[in-house]
A and B are shown apart, each in its own frame.
Chain A
């Protein structure tokens, strides 16, 4: 109060009036609402800063920031030095974690987090050796100020710096990548929460770090205006900062002490007059604000290459005899520090993380200090004021620094009308606690808003999962439909192929009967050769005219044994399988097969005068009994085998086992739909193979029956 140099008449008048009506002080600053609690800051300021305390064990949660969890880079039993990188991740928004002191990694396990839920999270447990050996310049910097924002961002990321005012948003993600996007760089030194003095002490002891840190950021991002807001109850800090900011373009602005002056939107409005619209970030209006501790950490990282491993923490509260500020190593236990401050009564009550206004009671007192912890508050529980019904006095509405309607929010939250709560912009609520503070009925209003926020988030999450489930279900239905259709198509194609086969058989028979005088064997051979030529394209018909009847018989016999050695099932299944797989192939195969069968049937007819009705293959072969027929069949088989061998040679197929060919032939036929040229070729081959296989099988069957 003493440091404000001149007071206008208006200010004097208001201050005079505030003795009668305290809320008159609201006219001294720009933002709406606000309250004036008892600050109790002198408690911790009356004791010196502790800097040399190194706890025996440090618990470092892998997630100390908003974003994704980091992954440990050390293993059990590793000896680490101070400033050594312990955990990092590239998977998303995260800040790496460094060793706060030298020592040994004794465990990586679940430990209770300093979180309202009291849930546990994976943490690295470091047992200090009390030597505090450090890696100097572990970030490997040359002490120069990065000229480009990207370089500064990378360095800040590597240093593991997060917003130290309490939000815990990784600082590098907050900085824009382009120069000139920011008009005002704001230094937040308005520590408005009662009891907390860590920023005050930091400004008193390390004002130069803070100012230099701000200058680094300003230079890197090309920012002209640097404003530092400090509440007028921090006289020493203001003096120290003014001294450090001398001859720089950092302007120290003294602001009125009011709660919540330290809120980002409130201080921005106070310093620049810009009121941040809903759903916008400060960057959108050209403002970048960071806490004094963040600037000090940036200075340490950029100039000295030191990552963020410790922070100033206030240990205070009415329950402590010896409250103090401490340059605490991250990972120090709440309980240990509170015990250091000599509690008046045993710590059987929960410690509070943060101040009395916004602080959160811990579920366990043995939780570690993380990058965002600014205060440990030990206040013995007082008998709670019984909440009374809301009397609609509207005090909360007057106190709300965001201009919300706390009373309406309360009623709707209470009756679970979350859509209405959302309409009333509950998500703009900063949970500062002004409304609860002024409520004459002692209604825990902020609790209701927190609950409403959680519920709305939960509902949104559920909606998203329902939408996803719907999409996936619909996609599945579509897929099943498609598969069903494909199956039907296949069956239809198969049926058609069978029909066609029957039709062709009939037509072939009629053509056969037209020229009964021709030598059956010769005709069949010629036709087969022709068919083969047509099928093979360039391949020449492998006629073997010089083979004697005996040789042919031998060939046939060989083939028979060949066929007999293979199980008959595989003979039959391979072609049929192929038919199933390729709807187009079987047609061709069936055609070829039908032709050959027809030819054979004609032969049989010629020799045995059997009836010309379309009989099945087996029927036809069964009826044949003469030697001639056998021989003719043998001729056919031998020829086929020879052709096949030749083809196998041509295609450099190592096995000359004829049974392999059908399966081989299916391979090229896979491309049928892709390239029509290739497809026709492949089709031909497949058809050939199928026909051959069938013929062979028949031969072996019939001959076996005969013998």
Chain B
């Protein structure tokens, strides 16, 4: 009887120490769910969800303080992914992005730009180059197309343009997939 108690006590202490050590040694920094959500978000940092960036929205989602259908550029797909991660009911998107297929980037009309640096301050990814009273320009490869620079421009010299397709970036179109129905009656109808 005593020996059994001692054995279990010893085991309990051993596992207690092990667990305690593991919790210190393998401690997870930050919120893994927020991290996961952040990874599926499109990282445009556009703020259309009402949060100042993708990460804050991910954190709010992880805490359950926000709806799953707020990411406009991510669209339906991201909403589904978010609801899978958070184990919540998918919700229909309220707003759909205007053009999903093509990436758009900001372009500054350099003749009109007055060098006010407003857009530089607004850009969430520092993709605009320029200095006070100097012409500004957008680094296209780093622009996320969030359109945050458009309302702040006092001379309306920024336009969103679709990214140019080059032979390198061009992709094969989908071979019209539904030309053959999955189940066909026999004889086939004409």
Question: Which of A119, A453, A455, A467 touches B166 (beta carbons < 8 Å)?
Answer: A119
Residue among A113, A414, A454, A466 making CB contact with B171, cutoff 8 Å: A454
Complex CA gap A604/B188 in Å reads 115
Q: Is B137 an interface residue (CB 8 A)?
A: no
Contact: A469 with B45, CB < 8 Å?
Answer: yes
A53 close to chain B: CB less than 8 A: no
Cβ contacts under 8 Å, B173 to chain A: 451
Q: Are A472 and B127 in contact (CB under 8 A)?
A: yes
> In the bound complex, how far is the Cα of B126 from the Cα of A470, in angstroms?
11
The answer to whether B43 and A451 touch across the interface, beta carbons within 8 angstroms, is: no
Decide if A476 touches B126 in the complex (CB within 8 Å). Answer: yes
Binary CB contact string for chain A from 449 to 475 against chain B (1 if under 8 A, 0 otherwise): 011011101100110011111101111
| Contacting pair B124 A476 (CB below 8 A) | yes
Q: Does B115 contact A (CB under 8 A)?
A: no
Q: Does A477 contact B (CB under 8 A)?
A: yes
* Chain B 115-149 near chain A by CB (<8 Å), digits 1 or 0: 00000000011110000000000000110100000
User: Looking across the interface, which residue of chain B has its beta carbon closest to that of A120?
Assistant: B167
* Nearest B residue (CB) for A387: B180
B181–A389 CB distance below 8 A: yes
Cα–Cα distance between A389 and B180 once the two chains are bound (Å)? 6
Given A117-B170, A454-B172, A388 and B184 contact (CB-CB distance below 8 Å) = yes
Docked complex Cα distance between A147 and B174 (Å) = 50
Proximity bits, B145-188, A CB within 8 Å = 1, else 0: 00000000000000000000111011111110101111110001
A36 contacts partner chain B, Cβ-Cβ < 8 Å: no
Known: A387-B180, A453-B172, A454-B172. A473 touches B125 (CB 8 A): yes
Residue among A117, A453, A473 with the highest chain B CB neighbour number at 10 A = A473
Chain A residues with CB below 8 A from B44, complex form: 469
Please name the residue on chain B nearest to A444 by beta carbon: B175
Query: Does B54 sit at the interface, judged by CB under 8 A?
Result: yes
A387 contacts B179, CB within 8 Å?
Answer: yes
- Shortest CB-to-CB span from B141 to chain A, Å, is 8
Residues of B within 8 A of A121 (CB): 166-167
Across the interface, A472 reaches (CB within 8 A) one of B125, B171, B180, namely B125
Task: Name the B residues within 8 Å of A469 (CB-CB).
Answer: 43-45, 125, 142, 144
| Residues in B whose Cβ lies below 8 Å from that of A461 | 169
> Chain B contacts of A462 at CB under 8 A?
42, 103
A707 CA / B136 CA spacing, docked (Å): 55
In the complex, whether B90 has a CB less than 8 A from a CB of chain A is no
Q: Which of A113, A441, A455, A470 contacts B43 (CB 8 A)?
A: A470
Output the least CB separation between A168 and chain B (Å). 12
Instruction: Determine whether A115 belongs to the interface, using a CB cutoff of 8 Å to chain B.
Output: yes
Asked whether B126 lies within 8 Å of A475 as measured between CB atoms, the reply is yes
Known: A451-B172, A465-B144. A470 touches B38 (CB 8 A): yes
A39 within 8 A of B: no
Is A466 a contact of B167 with CB atoms below 8 Å?
no
A116 CB within 8 Å of chain B:
yes
Closest to A414 in B: B177
* Chain A residues with a Cβ closer than 8 Å to the other chain, count: 38
A29 sits at the interface (CB 8 A): no
A447 within 8 A of B: yes
- Asked whether B180 lies within 8 Å of A450 as measured between CB atoms, the reply is no
Inter-subunit contact A451/B53 (CB<8 Å): no
Collect the chain A residues with CB atoms within 8 Å of residue B177's CB.
414
Q: For B169, what are the chain A residues with a Cβ–Cβ distance below 8 Å? A: 461
Q: How far is the CB of A576 from chain B (nearest CB, A)?
A: 23
Q: How distant is A281 from chain B, measured CB to nearest CB, in Å?
A: 21
Q: Smallest distance from the beta carbon of A528 to chain B beta carbons, Å? A: 43
Which single residue of chain B is at the shortest CB-CB distance from A450?
B172
Q: How far is the CB of B24 from chain A (nearest CB, A)?
A: 27
Number of interface residues of B (CB under 8 A): 35
Known: A472-B127, A472-B142. A466 touches B175 (CB 8 A): no
Contact of A467 among B43, B124, B141, B188 (CB under 8 A): B43
Candidates A63, A389, A448, A476; contact of B184 at CB < 8 Å: A389
Residue in A closest to B41 when the chains form the complex, CB atoms: A466
Contacts of B142 in A (CB 8 A): 468-469, 472
- Which residues of A from 605 to 627 have beta carbons under 8 Å from B? none
Q: Which residues on B sit within 8 Å (CB–CB) of A414?
A: 177
| CB neighbours of B165 from chain A (8 A) | 117, 119
Asked whether B53 lies within 8 Å of A455 as measured between CB atoms, the reply is: no
A388 touches B167 (CB 8 A): no
* B-chain residues with CB within 8 Å of residue A477 when the two chains form the complex: 53
The interface residues of chain A lying within 8 Å CB-to-CB of B174 are 451
Distance in angstroms between the alpha carbons of A450 and B175 in the assembled complex: 9
> How distant is the Cα of A457 from the Cα of B125 in the complex, in angstroms?
23
Chain A residues contacting B183 (CB-CB under 8 Å) are: 389
Bound-state CA distance A466–B165 (Å) is 19
Q: Given A447-B172, A454-B171, A458-B171, A473–B184 Cβ distance below 8 Å?
A: no
Q: Are B182 and A389 in contact (CB under 8 A)?
A: yes
Write the B22-52 contact mask toward A (1 if CB under 8 angstroms, else 0).
0000000000000000100111110000000
A191 to chain B, nearest CB (A): 26
Question: By the criterion CB–CB under 8 Å, are B54 and A473 in contact?
Answer: yes
Q: Which of B45, B172, B179 contacts A473 (CB 8 A)?
A: B45
| A384 vs chain B, min Cβ distance (A) | 10
Contact A119 B167 (CB under 8 A): yes
For A441, what are the chain B residues with a Cβ–Cβ distance below 8 Å? 180
Best-buried of B169, B172, B173 by chain A (most CB within 10 Å): B172
CB of A416, distance to nearest CB on chain B (Å): 9
Chain B neighbourhood of A454, CB < 8 A: 170-172
Inter-chain CA distance A472–B43, complex, in Å, is 10
Chain B residues in 8 Å Cβ range of A386: 179-180
Which residues of chain A have C-beta atoms less than 8 A from B38's C-beta?
470
Q: Which residues of A contact B54 (CB under 8 A)?
A: 470, 473
Considering the chains assembled together, what is the distance between the CA atoms of A353 and B172 in angstroms?
16
Could you say which of A441, A468, A472, A477 has the most chain B C-beta atoms within 10 Å of its C-beta?
A472
Most interface-central of A444, A458, A469 (chain B CB within 10 A): A469
Whole-angstrom CA separation of A444 from B188 in the bound complex = 19
Query: Does A113 lie within 8 Å of B45, measured CB to CB?
Result: no
CB atoms of A473 and B182 under 8 A apart: no
Q: What is the bound-complex CA distance between A462 and B127, given in angstroms?
A: 16
CB neighbours of B167 from chain A (8 A): 63, 113, 115, 117, 119, 121
Residue pairs across A and B with Cβ atoms less than 8 A apart, 25 shown, are: A63-B167, A115-B170, A116-B172, A119-B166, A119-B167, A121-B166, A121-B167, A387-B179, A387-B180, A389-B180, A441-B180, A443-B180, A454-B170, A461-B169, A465-B144, A466-B43, A469-B43, A469-B44, A469-B45, A469-B142, A469-B144, A470-B38, A470-B54, A473-B45, A477-B53
**Residues of A at under 8 Å CB distance from B?**
63, 113, 115-117, 119, 121, 386-389, 414, 441, 443-444, 447-448, 450-451, 453-455, 457-458, 461-462, 465-470, 472-477
Q: Which 4 A-B pairs have the closest CB atoms?
A: A454-B171, A447-B175, A466-B43, A450-B172
Q: Which B residues are closer than 8 A to A by beta carbons?
A: 38, 41-45, 53-55, 103, 124-127, 141-142, 144, 165-167, 169-175, 177, 179-184, 188
Question: Can you add 17 more A-B contacts, CB < 8 Å, to A63-B167, A455-B171?
Answer: A117-B167, A119-B165, A119-B170, A387-B179, A388-B180, A389-B181, A414-B177, A450-B172, A454-B172, A462-B42, A466-B41, A466-B43, A469-B142, A469-B144, A472-B125, A473-B45, A476-B125
